[in-house]
Amino acid sequence: MPLRPNDPADPKGLIHEAFRIDGITEPECRSIFVDWALSIGDSPPRDLIRTLIARHAAAPADHPMRKVLEEGLGKPPKARRRGGRGARVTDG
């Protein structure tokens, strides 16, 4: 599939190029996905991810970028407190 100029789903063509790289690994795809996420601005990422999955449906099912995109549709991890005074001080 040719690169689409000014494509809101893939503004820098990162996902497009990832699907074209022979032997790309899952960690490399994750890094590309983060760069892609930073490039989409305020657009709803889940809608764009669905668009990208549909666009690259002909890619092999075991392509690592496909797996990364599908994981991107999953629920984000639940936010939880990571520290602060409450974590350092115990009652007693």
User: What are the tens digits of pLDDT across the range 62-83?
Assistant: 999 999 999 999 877 777 776 7
Provide the pLDDT for residue 36: 96
CA-nearest of 18, 10, 68 to 40 is: 10
Residue 39 vs residue 1, higher pLDDT: 39
Dist. CA 36–CA 52, nearest whole Å: 11
Mean pLDDT of 7-35: 96
CA-nearest of 59, 57, 53 to 20 is: 59
16 with 1: CB under 8 angstroms? yes
Dist. CA 88–CA 77, nearest whole Å: 24
What is the pLDDT of the chain when averaged over all its residues? 88
Angle 7-40-79 (CA atoms, 0-180°, nearest 5)? Answer: 150
Question: Would you say residue 5 has pLDDT above 70?
Answer: no
H or E segment at 17?
helix 14-20
Binning pLDDT at 50, 70 and 90, where does residue 43 land?
confident
Count of C-beta atoms within a 10 Å radius of residue 7: 16
The model carries a pTM of 0.77
Provide the pLDDT for residue 26: 97
Provide the pLDDT for residue 81: 73
